[in-house]
Amino acid sequence: MSFFSPLYFAETPDSSQKKASESAPWSREEFEKRLRGKESFYHIHHEFHIQMNSGKLDRTAIQGWVCNRFYYQTAIPVKDAAVLANCTDREVRRHWAQRIIDHDGRTGDEGGIEAWLQLGEAVGLKREDLLSHKKVLPAVKFAVDAYVSFARRASWQEAACSSLTEMFAPKIHQKRLDNWPEHYPWIKADGYNYFRKRLSEASRDVVNGLQITLDSFTTRSEQERALDILQFKLDILWTMLDAMWVAYIDKKPPYWNSPQL
């Protein structure tokens, strides 16, 4: 048969069956397995995190991480507000609203943002400097702002899906609680309240976010879209650490070689 014969490209029964199989949606169990499989791209595997959890970072690098992550922490309730603004499902809104309270706090429970400010003070940073964001790296601002922009423009189901990196969070919080007091004895004990707080909150949020994703993304193309969204969020977190590595490990902060400095 000639290579260029139209018959060469005709679908055989086997190829047609294969295509149908490839386009069939994954089972709920398989879909969840693939979502959880994205853990290998979680920022806990970034060399910055590996060194931080091994006690190899100096005080400046720890402070830099806390400072830059605070910008991300303050963006989380803004992202969650975007989910609520785009969501027409009352029951979803009632559950999702708790996430904003978890971070912004309320009377008697000041929330995660206040707990992170306490972490900042525990590592020697001034509260006003954290709140001003004046020491946040430009690349971190760009990455976090891109995430919030996505949440505002995407459907509420897509924005909810992007939060599924929390599936991997309890492990990293526990590692900090286990390792940091030994590796960084200069950090005040009350700085660890945020990590303790998020152990239970993140586990609860995973159940809710995962159910929304499994229920909402049901065709193969939608499921693949969900995996791409989760990867996008993982890219955001990894890129933040790339910027911190250059600034605090390589000692090349923004404009480090500018003739104006």
* 3-class DSSP assignment, residue 237: helix
- Cα separation, 260 vs 10, whole angstroms: 65
* 3-class DSSP assignment, residue 106: strand
For residue 170, give the amino acid letter.
P
The DSSP annotation for 112-143 comes to: HHHHHHHHHHHTT--HHHHHHTTTS-HHHHHH
Q: What is the pLDDT of residue 9?
A: 36
- pLDDT by residue for the chain (261 residues), tens only, comes to 333 333 333 444 454 455 545 689 999 999 999 999 999 999 999 999 999 999 999 999 999 999 999 999 999 999 999 999 999 999 999 999 999 999 999 888 889 999 999 999 999 999 999 999 999 999 999 999 999 999 999 999 999 999 999 999 888 888 899 999 999 999 999 999 888 888 877 778 888 999 999 999 999 999 999 999 999 999 999 999 999 999 999 999 999 998 876
- Cα separation, 50 vs 46, whole angstroms: 6
8 Å CB contact between 69 and 136: no
User: What secondary structure letter does DSSP report for 24?
Assistant: S
* 3-class DSSP assignment, residue 109: strand
Q: What is the pLDDT of residue 11?
A: 46
Residue 106 phi, psi dihedral angles, 5° rounding: -160, 175
Has this prediction a pTM greater than 0.85? yes
Which residues is 88 bridged to in the sheet?
Answer: none
- Cα separation, 47 vs 52, whole angstroms: 8
**For residue 157, how many other CB atoms are within 10 A of its CB?**
20
